[in-house]
Amino acid sequence: MKAHTVLPCGRSRMLFVLPSLVVLAWSGGGRAEESLLERDVLPILTKQCLGCHGGLRQQGKLDLRTVPAMLKGGKSGPAVKSGDLDASEMWARIANDDMPPHEKKLSAAEKAAIKQWIAAGLPTVAQRQQDDAPLLPAGSKHEPRQVAAAIDQHLDRALAAAKLSPAPRADDAEFLRRVYIDLTGRVPTAEQTAAFLDDAQPDKRVRLIDALLASPQFGEQFGRTWRDWICPPELPSDGNGGAQPHKQAQDLGVWLAARFNVGDGWNKITREILTVEGEIKTRPQVIFYGLVGEGGKATPDGSTRAVASLFLGVQLQCAQCHDDPYRSWAQTDHWALAAFFGKMTADFTKVTEPATNKGGAQISIPKTAFKNVGVNVPAAFLGGKHVAPPQDRSLRSALADWLTARDNPYFARAFANRVWFYFFARGLVNPIDDFRELNPPSHPGLMALLANEFAAADFDVKHLIRCVCNSEAYQRTSRVASGTSESATATLTTLFGRMPLRIMTADMLYDSLKLAYGDPKLDLRSPDTKNSSALGQAALVADPYLEFLRRFGTNEEDATDFTHGIPQMLTMLNHPRLLAGSKALEAYRKARPAASPEQTVEWLYLSTLSRRPSADESADAQRYLQKTNDPVKGFNGVLWMLVNRSEYLFVR
């Protein structure tokens, strides 16, 4: 593909993912073999044709991005005719390999997919999914258990169509550890684990979800999750004069944590970010604009990219300089939104904007966009008709009014999709910020259900999460039944019929280790780099937290990607601090002098793997303890082995 990324900014890796267009068309069991536009045809056209017949170039006056455009065709008439290969010029060209010189020919399988698609009458995934209703009425808020049941009904239907049965429910220990890590960012303590495992009440999962959502750690975990989405770990530092703005990013995380904990709606939080005024010292949200500019100043195109990706779930970055070659976004869509940022002045330290926008709002396409430079584009909301924003308000507040309205077509689903991605390591729409007609959700009814519910609940974040966590889907085991083929496992995972195995983020792992070692200041910096600026990382290693995040950072696009390598392994195996032993263990032994070796080993299992040891594991540990004469050394050795098990690193 000739895609390039000439963007000056490496802001978010997520922004540059090209559409995967992986779509599951699941309804109608027997149809698995048929060729569908979004799933089977567009990926081929994107790779082979859209560079010359897309938004940027329309050779032979032909645009192949959408079916209506194909039907309209080019110079010599329609490119396709439904059900009629002979009358489809596109097929004639493909069948005869009649392509410009140097272009790769299509493979036999690619040709077959396109041939079948035209012959079958140009079917789309969207047509196959059109009966997929949300199952609960839009416009009113429901009880979490009702929503959870509807979520399961959606998923079960798709699984049944694929002739797959969902994995069984996770046992209490697996569920407990997962929900603690997801909602509070760390494993449970031994006492919390034992209390839950020994609780015989049938509603204990529901109660636990409520309790965790009410704990301050919930906001902290969601605050740092959104902090990393807004300020990805490798930030462009241009906005901050070359320095990595770690402190300001932390401040944003703290600010977000407080918002989530008091239960502010996502609409309110988003408005406070979008319309921020003042200095970063007192308004941490300023970093949002501070990061998306050039030469130390925020730019309208940078702000547009970020707002589109984070709050609207769409990728406008390829429409900044020319119409998007692959998607249907026009350059004017990009600049009409950018016009809302035309009157503010923002840099890394502060944001200001006149309180009104007298004279109306339009923007002149700047030189940096290469094409249509100097053309004036009036402000307009995405996908809507041009309605001039009211002149008695600031442009950004007019934008926030539109964006955070309950009936905004983008806002609720963009957030709901990110929440889904957070728990299941995969969005209903993928990439999570590439919503558009030709990249439909895998489960459209479920996507609509979650977005409707979130909007009807006034964008209550905890409500949405409570609904998801109470579903059977969230509470299934990640274990795969023995004998299941790799491909069946993969389909089961993509259809959310089992929980994927995710790796703990650096934050989750760090907080869990702090707990295991009873050391809130746990310092795992390499002893040899501590005072070495030879690595050029003095500023980073000066702070144990930042150094941990740097070393144990995971793949933010794919939580199932095992990112630990030798440096991480060596830290876990050899770091003197981890070998020195646990203060939590010391405190436990002091408080429970009569605890038997078996009880102490059980306590260690509960505080790390969130379960009790099996009989074999227990016996192994006792044998090991007998060999080591010193009980302190022995128990710490057991702890060291536990945190070095791969089981420890995973959210199962």
Residue corresponding to tokens 């049941």: 149
Where do we find the tokens 């078996």? 598
Member of 95, 99, 126, 164 binding ligand HEC (CB under 6 A): 99
Question: Is 104 one of the binding residues for ligand HEC (CB under 6 A)?
Answer: no
101 binds ligand HEC (CB under 6 A): no
In a 13 Å sphere around the CA of 334, the CA atoms on its Cβ side amount to 30
380 binds ligand HEC (CB under 6 A): no
CA 471 – CA 355 distance, rounded (Å): 45
Quick one: which segment of 75-83, 160-168, 482-490, 525-533 binds ligand HEC (CB under 6 A)? 75-83
| Contact indicator for 259, 310 with CB cutoff of 8 Å | no
CB nearer ligand HEC, residue 323 or residue 460:
323
How many residues bind to ligand HEC according to rule CB under 6 A? 36
By C-beta, is 13 or 386 nearer to ligand HEC? 13
- Choice between 369 and 456, CB closer to ligand HEC: 369
Q: How far apart are CA 484 and CA 165, in angstroms?
A: 11
Residue 436 beta carbon to ligand HEC: minimum distance, rounded to whole angstroms? 14
- The binder of ligand HEC chosen from 30, 68, 100, 536 (CB under 6 A): 100
What's the closest the beta carbon of residue 312 comes to ligand HEC, in angstroms? 17
Query: Quick check: 318 binds ligand HEC (CB under 6 A)?
Result: yes
Residue closer to ligand HEC, measured from CB, 6 or 109: 6
Location of structure tokens 């406070």? 272
Q: Please, what is the minimum distance in Å from the beta carbon of residue 368 to ligand HEC?
A: 6
38 neighbors 23 (Cβ within 8 angstroms):
yes
The answer to whether residues 49 and 80 touch, using CB atoms and an 8 Å cutoff, is: no
62 near ligand HEC (CB under 6 A)? yes
**CA–CA distances in Å: residue 344 to residues 71, 284, 299, 375:** 43, 17, 9, 20
Please state, in angstroms and rounded to a whole number, the distance separating the CA atoms of residues 34 and 53. 25
Q: Per CB under 6 A, does 79 bind ligand HEC?
A: yes
User: For residue 436, what are the contacts with CB-CB under 8 A and spacing of at least 6?
Assistant: 314, 327, 328, 329
Q: C-beta of 51: minimal distance to ligand HEC in Å?
A: 5
Round to whole Å and give the CA distance between 390 and 379.
11
The residue range among 1-9, 147-155, 180-188, 620-628 that interacts with ligand HEC, by the rule CB under 6 A, is 1-9
Could you give the CA distance from residue 114 to residue 118 in angstroms, rounded to a whole number? 6
Q: Which amino acid is at 95?
A: A
Span of 85-93, 160-168, 169-177, 274-282 interacting with ligand HEC by CB under 6 A:
85-93
Residues 303, 285: contact at Cβ < 8 Å? no
Residue 42 in the binding site for ligand HEC (CB under 6 A): no
Per-position b or e across 201-231, b if 16+ CB within 10 A of its CB: eeebbbebbbebbeeebbbbbbbbbbbbbbb
Under a CB-based contact definition with an 8 Å cutoff, are residues 503 and 561 in contact? yes
How buried is 8 (Cβ within 10 angstroms: 0-12 exposed, 13-18 middle, 19+ buried)? middle
Residue 544 in the binding site for ligand HEC (CB under 6 A): no
Which CB, 354 or 370, lies closer to ligand HEC? 370
Q: Residue 594 interacts with ligand HEC (CB under 6 A)?
A: no
The residue with tokens 């149809």 is: 31
- Window of 92-100, 243-251, 379-387, 522-530 that interacts with ligand HEC by CB under 6 A: 92-100
Contact segment (CB under 6 A) with ligand HEC among 94-102, 123-131, 167-175, 501-509 equals 94-102
Residues that bind ligand HEC (CB under 6 A): 2-7, 48-49, 51-53, 56, 59-60, 62, 73-76, 79, 89-90, 93-94, 99-100, 103, 106, 317-318, 320-322, 325, 369-370
